[in-house]
Amino acid sequence: MLSKHYPVTTKSNSLLALSRSFWFLLFSMLAVAAVPSIAAQMQTRPFTHNGYDRPYLIYRPAHLAKNPAVVFMLGGIGSTAQFASQNFGWTEEADRNGFIVVFPEPLATDPSKPASKKNITFWQMKGSRTRILAPNALPVDDDGYLIAVLRDVLRRDHPDRQHVFFAGFSSGSGMVQLLASRHPKEIRAIAAVATPLMDPPTKLAHPVDVLYIHSDQDDQFSGFETLSPHFATTPHGNWVTWGYLNGCQKQTAEKAAWGVQFSWQGCNRNVRVDADFVAGLGHEWAGSLDASRSVPTHLREPLNFTEMAWQFFVSVSTK
């Protein structure tokens, strides 16, 4: 009797096994579909410093590297964190290379009033602009704010502390250089475009890698020399200043398609101190949305300062 029913039992078991496999596969697919994919994320983080509301933006790409680098980008006069996040191409660069980008918030001339064309934002760089403060208001401390934001990002996002980079344009350029000169142990390298270090120290507590970019048709450089009496603040002089601060020994120059690159050799801890002097451009961050769309006649393709800055950061990271 058992032998007569054996084929039926075997078929039933086979069907049962197939049924179980189907439902297991289906549930597995549904489970995978239920897990949200890790997408790129721009997040606004509330932040207060010295009584001023200064939220910052942080961008984490979809494919974030293990122990990622972090780049802070500071825009120029009249910029905001939102504008900087959209204008300079750093989020696209982060998507390609898997690092975090932070966009801090500058304050207006009169921080008690909304920013506008008559109440412009800027970064403190010991330049010609000063803030108008309400009675009994605390001073605006951009240096303290940026270091506080850096420490908040290190605590919450855990980037590689050895790969902390700052980039800045115009007043942001002056600010990142000032910040690095005061906190060189916390900042691995900087990329500064179009404005010099206005208040250099007599020496650095630790060497710092520097890329300084300036264009020969930049018309917003006049008068800076009188504001920094201890060091020359011409474009070439700013590069010389950083070479002295980093204990460098030898200067070199090399022609490039876009202009001339000056480099210091024999610097303390083998840091890099480069100056890219670009021909045919004005006061702009080449490759940004608000930059001139014209290509200098001596170039076949437009320059991209964001890409140049990132390649510099990569080069110093691998030393």
pLDDT in tens, 42-62: 999 999 999 999 999 999 999
pLDDT in tens, 97-114: 999 999 999 999 999 999
Q: What is the DSSP string of 177-213?
A: HHHHHH-TTT--EEEEES---SS--SS-SS--EEEEE
Q: What is the pTM assigned to this prediction?
A: 0.85
pLDDT in tens, 159-171: 999 999 999 999 9
Check if the beta carbon of residue 307 is closer than 8 Å to that of residue 258: no
pLDDT of residue 294: 65
48-49 and 52-53 strand pairing:
antiparallel
293: confidence class by pLDDT, cuts 50, 70, 90: confident
pLDDT in tens, 69-90: 999 999 999 999 999 999 999 9
237: confidence class by pLDDT, cuts 50, 70, 90: confident
250-256 and 41-45 strand pairing:
unpaired
Residue range 117-130: average pLDDT?
Answer: 88
Check if the beta carbon of residue 182 is closer than 8 Å to that of residue 206: no
Provide the strand spans (E) within the chain: 41-45, 48-49, 52-53, 56-60, 70-74, 100-103, 107-108, 121-122, 164-169, 189-193, 209-215, 250-256, 259-265, 273-278
Residue range 234-257: average pLDDT?
Answer: 93
CA–CA gap between residue 93 and residue 102 (Å, rounded): 13
pLDDT of residue 28: 38
Which is nearest to 57 in space by CA: 106, 115, 102? 102
Percent of the chain with pLDDT over 70: 82
Which is nearest to 56 in space by CA: 162, 196, 153, 199? 153
